[in-house]
Structure 1
Amino acid sequence: MFAGSVGSLSVLGAPDLIVLTLTEFAQQAYRICRAGDLALLVDADHGYGNALNVKRTVEELDTAGVCALTIEDTILPTPHGEVGKPRMISIEEGAGKMRAALAGRQDPGLVIAGRTSAVSITNLDDAIARANAYAAAGVDAMFFTGLRTVAQLDAISAAVKIPIFLGSITDELSDKDMLAAKGVRIALQGHMPVMAGIQAVHDTLKALRDGTPPKALKGVASGDLMGRLTRAADYQRQTTDYLGD
């Protein structure tokens, strides 16, 4: 999953404060889709504005080639005087955003998921009410953040009849078979690959600064791996075909 927070980090070197624009996010999603053929799920935050902006957001991300996206119902960016006090838009506005998202879909295979943080901001009953309203609007799946217990998941699974996504999961919610039996189809595990990559770059630069010879560094990607990541063989064939030996 390509999260808004990862986009803000990679494009701007900034935290997840909704300072990244739709254009910047969609361009980065396009670059990712262009570089490989794995399906890309993206976190489209609140759709970068009201329902009209949501429709435009879906159009741009659909064009970029993503396979699935989520639209959330938190009030974003954080209003003045409300730092640390997240609030939700109304269910009615949220349902309108979901209908707009569906109207912006061009590829019928694009999965559009509603997203709510109501479990941790308001309460579980509100989260279920929102999920069912968004399901009635036509979304393909529902993404819940903030779940911590099996009891919470049981309540959601009993009431929500569309596929469930979960945000970062707790130890209590870590059994994959149990999650699958309760309708969970995606359970995210945080941004550990990105964080591990950042730590590796930091440690490598520090080691070089401290005098470690480049050839003595550990954990460096091999030439073979770099060649596969950059599709060097394909480019070599193209060079031969189009430019000659």
Structure 2
Amino acid sequence: MTATERRKAFRAVLSGTACLHPASVFDAISGRIAADLGFETAILGGSVASLAVLGAPDHIILTLTEFADLIRRITRAGAPPLLVDADHGYGNALSVMRTVEELETAGVAALTIEDTLLPRPYGPDRTELLPLAEGLGKIRAALAARTDPSLVIVARTSALSVTTTEDAVTRARAYAEAGADGIFVTGLTDLAQLTALREATGLPLLVGSAKPGLGGAADLARHGARIALQGHATFPAAMQAVHDTLKALRDGTAPKDLQGLPDSATTKRWQRDGHYDTAIRDFLGG
């Protein structure tokens, strides 16, 4: 699919009636595996990107260029329509415009811009929100910067966990009135919060962290959610697999006796051997 086709596919998810779990991806192969497994959407989290590029925790030290380069590798490999966590847009509203330009060019289907005060300012470690006017300015800037109208701009707020449900509704309503395509929330503790947000905005909802026991995807869907994250377990799983393989080799296990490796046919499918074999025959004389 082209970038525009992927964006339209993501919009179809948002306009549907089901709530889907995106695949958490972090590189070209993980994105391709997600596509092979039939995931309708994928997500690249900010914390995952920081680990993949820097091997560092999520302290907003990844640069926009590094983030866009990673995204480009994932989208060109054929990942499902990709939602990315663009954090605070890497600065003020003008920086948000640059962020949208770079990520649209990199092929994302959707991106979130949040109203959390980032990066962490000097002083006690506590999460703070931007003033509503500043957060609204960022969403308006993001919308003004896109050139492909099918690109999905999602306004993200942490108000449910930082201030109040009422504040979250006020912020979400303002972002919706500005033209945001969806509302991403974290800190969900009650499905009634989703109902309030849906009624206030009329927009599809995307759910990050949520209190356990709120129900499954069907329950979330009935309250307006169309995307619900399941965390980012794939990258820790990959780290553990690398550790276990290297440790086994270090401890003397012969390569042929290693456990958990894909067979040759699977590896060839993931790396698209058939595509390259055809190109070799067509353009390199066999």
Correspondences of 1:90-105 after superposition (within 5 Å): 90-105=131-146
- Pick from 109, 113, 118: which aligns with 1:71? 113
SS at match of 1:6: helix
Residue by residue over 1:50-101, the C-alpha shift from the partner in whole angstroms, topping out at 9 and shown as x without a partner, is 001001100110011100000000010001113x211111111111110100
CA distance in 2, matches of 1:109, 1:151: 30
Could you tell me how far 1:39 is from its partner in structure 2?
Answer: 0.7
Q: Could you tell me which residue of structure 2 aligns to residue 204 of structure 1?
A: 245
CA contact (8 A) 1:26 1:60 kept: yes
Higher relative contact order, structure no. (Cα contacts within 8 Å, ≥ 6 residues apart): 2
Give the Å deviation of 1:37.
4.4
Instruction: Tell me the CA shift for residue 180 of structure 1.
Output: 0.8
* 89-98 vs 216-225, greater mean Cα deviation: 216-225
2:81 is equivalent to residue 39 of structure 1: yes
The 8 Å contact of residues 198 and 204 in structure 2, kept in 1 or not, is answered as: no
For residues 136-151 of structure 1, what are the structure 2 equivalents within 5 Å?
136-151=177-192
* CA distance in structure 2 between the partners assigned to 1:45 and 1:88 by the alignment: 13
Contact 2:110 2:152 in 1 (8 A): yes
Instruction: Name the counterpart of 2:278.
Output: 237
- 2:257 is aligned to 216
Per-residue Cα deviation, 1:123-159 (whole angstroms, up to 9, x for no partner): 1111111100100110000000111222333333333
1:165 to 190, 206, 222: 206
Distance 1:218 1:168, change over 3 A: farther
Residue 49 (structure 1) shift: 0.4
Q: How does 1:24-63 map to 2 (within 5 A)?
A: 24-63=66-105
In 1, the alpha carbon distance for the partners of 2:147 and 2:65 equals 18
Number of matched residues?
244
On the 8 A contact 2:111/2:154 being kept in 1, the answer is yes
TM-score by length of 2: 0.82
The farther-off stretch of 144-153 and 103-112 is 144-153
Counterpart residue identity of residue 42, structure 1 = V
Q: Are residues 223 and 77 of structure 1, via their aligned partners in 2, closer, same or farther at CA, if it must alter by over 3 Å?
A: same
Question: What is the SS of the residue equivalent to 2:44?
Answer: coil
Listed as ranges, the gaps of 5+ residues in structure 1 are none
Q: Residue 204 and residue 174 in structure 1: after superposition, are their counterparts in 2 closer, same or farther (change >3 A)?
A: farther
Q: 2:171 maps to what in 1? A: 130
Equivalent position of 2:65 in the other structure: 23
Where in structure 2 are there 5+ consecutive unaligned residues? 1-42
Which region of structure 1 is more displaced relative to structure 2, 107-116 or 164-173?
164-173
Is 1:2 paired with 2:40? no
Q: Distance in 1 between matches of 2:242 and 2:254?
A: 15
How many angstroms apart in 1 are the aligned matches of 2:47 and 2:229?
A: 14
The answer on whether the counterparts of 1:148 and 1:172 sit within 8 Å (CA) in structure 2 is no
Matched residue type, 1:52: L
User: What is the TM-score normalised by the length of structure 1?
Assistant: 0.95
Cross-structure match for 1:225: 266
SS in 2 for 1:173: coil
User: Over aligned residues, Cα RMSD in angstroms?
Assistant: 1.3
